[in-house]
């Protein structure tokens, strides 16, 4: 029997076409870069950067951009065996604008339909999903069929046998000893849902998925969709009541709150950072969260580590190619900020200026230069 993956993620993938200039609207940008993107895909990259064996379940178009994404996944050390092509739909692209410190509009091009919403249940390797130490899915995967049914099938494969019985009730679940967590990244993207912010079906679909998850991660807006609660502690309690064991509520500049069913609580402030591009910080947080869960760390340590990973990516122009290595996260924690002690934080790029010193894809970043771009 093959060794289980540390992390399998499922859901969105695409090509991020990002400006290599900051403080400039898309109408005025002259130079762009092309990068691997999609939140669950970025989480797999972040986990691989931290030394974990990761894979992603998703679909691309049968086109040159799809070929590019396969190449990038392999470059980042993410297994692409479950990334298949959909002939009918093009690989999605996403544009963004970069206005530090806190304005990063996203423009998704996923019409007439994104291939990653065409993940079909018969094509899933449910044994691998069941056996993975961590399975990570997102709210976007619940927004349309057949992705919704496939995501729920994967979740059911995870939850079957967690009480010691196999899926048929006749014996121990083969992966029960290795399984660490089933993570629901709430990932609320209203533009992907009928009705947008007023979607009448999203809350019910979120509740259905929460019943199978052991960890829920989301910001306050996402928690409000999932639970109806916006106050952090109330949202965490509501997520626990919905069935998870660990609720992680991201509060932006106020840090992150984690509450476990056993009563353990960690309320961790953010790490100081000069923000260049906030996109991708949450995905770095997610990969680091998986790393800490797999290591068996206590909740406070996991949250501090994940905060540091997210802050590092926020200090860079990139997303997937900006995911940090372990020594970078440890250095940021030791310094108490992103950047060496006594040194000024990395400056955002001058308005309209392209970045310099971007390392090759998959290589460790050097110096304080920003490292490429994507959410």
51-94 residue pLDDT tens: 999 999 999 999 999 999 999 999 999 999 999 999 999 999 99
pLDDT of residue 162: 56
Partners of 54 in beta bridges: 7, 78
pLDDT of residue 172: 37
pLDDT of residue 178: 73
pLDDT of residue 343: 36
- What contacts 52, CB < 8 A, 6 or more positions away? 6, 7, 287, 290, 291, 294
pLDDT of residue 30: 92
In the structure encoding, which two tokens stand for residue 117, read together?
């919403």
Q: For every residue of the chain, which 3-state class applies, written as one string?
A: CCCCCCEEEECCCEEEEEECCECCCCCCCCCEEEEEECHHHHHHHHHHHCCCCEEEEEEEECCHHHHHHHHHHHHCCEECCCEEEECCCCCCEEEECCECCCECCEEEECCCCCHHHCCCHHHCCHHHHHHCCEEEEEHHHHCCCCHHHHHHHHHHHHHCCCCCCCCCCCCCCCCCCCCCEEEEECCCCHHHCCCHHHCCCHHHHHHHHHCCCCEEEEEHHHHHHHHCCCCHHHHHHHHHHCCCCEEEEECHHHCEEEEECCCCEEEECCCCCCCCCCCCHHHHHHHHHHHHHHHCCCHHHHHHHHHHHHHHHHCCCCCHHHCCCHHHHHHHHHHCCCCCCCCCCCCCCCECCCCCCCCCCCCCCCCCCCCCCCC
pLDDT of residue 352: 37
pLDDT of residue 1: 59
Pick out the chain residues at pLDDT < 50. 163-176, 340-375
pLDDT of residue 173: 43
């Amino acid at each position: 029997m093959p060794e289980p993956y540390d992390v399998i993620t499922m859901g969105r993938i695409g090509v991020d076409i990002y400006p290599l200039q900051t403080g400039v609207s898309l109408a005025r940008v002259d130079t762009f870069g092309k990068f691997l993107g999609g939140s669950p895909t970025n989480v797999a990259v972040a986990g691989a950067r931290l030394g974990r064996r990761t894979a992603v379940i998703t679909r691309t178009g049968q086109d040159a951009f799809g070929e590019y994404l396969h190449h990038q996944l392999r470059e980042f050390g993410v297994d692409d065996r479950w990334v298949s092509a959909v002939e009918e739909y093009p690989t999605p692209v996403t544009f963004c604008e970069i206005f530090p410190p806190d304005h990063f509009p996203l423009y998704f091009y996923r019409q007439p339909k994104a291939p990653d919403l065409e993940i079909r249940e018969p094509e899933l390797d449910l044994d691998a999903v069941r056996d993975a130490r961590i399975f990570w899915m997102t709210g976007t995967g619940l927004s349309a069929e057949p992705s919704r049914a496939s995501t729920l099938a994967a979740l059911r494969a995870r939850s079957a046998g967690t009480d010691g019985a196999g899926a048929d009730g006749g014996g121990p679940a083969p992966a029960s000893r290795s399984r660490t967590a089933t993570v629901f990244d709430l990932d609320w993207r209203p533009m992907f849902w009928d009705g947008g912010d007023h979607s009448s079906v999203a809350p019910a679909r979120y509740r259905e998925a929460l019943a199978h998850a052991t960890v829920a991660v989301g910001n306050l807006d996402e928690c409000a969709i999932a639970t109806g609660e916006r106050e952090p502690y109330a949202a965490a309690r509501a997520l626990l009541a919905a069935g998870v064991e660990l609720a992680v509520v991201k509060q932006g500049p106020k840090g992150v709150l984690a509450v476990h069913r056993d009563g353990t609580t960690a309320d961790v402030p953010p790490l100081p950072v000069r923000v260049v591009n906030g996109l991708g910080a949450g995905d770095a947080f997610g990969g680091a969260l998986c790393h800490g869960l797999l290591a068996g760390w206590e909740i406070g340590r996991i949250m501090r580590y994940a905060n540091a990973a997210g802050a590092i990516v926020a200090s860079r122009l990139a997303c997937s190619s900006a995911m940090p290595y372990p020594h970078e996260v440890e250095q940021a924690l030791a310094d108490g900020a992103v950047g060496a002690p006594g040194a000024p934080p990395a400056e955002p790029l001058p308005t309209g200026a392209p970045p310099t010193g971007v390392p090759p894809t998959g290589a460790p970043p050097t110096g304080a230069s920003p490292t490429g771009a994507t959410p």
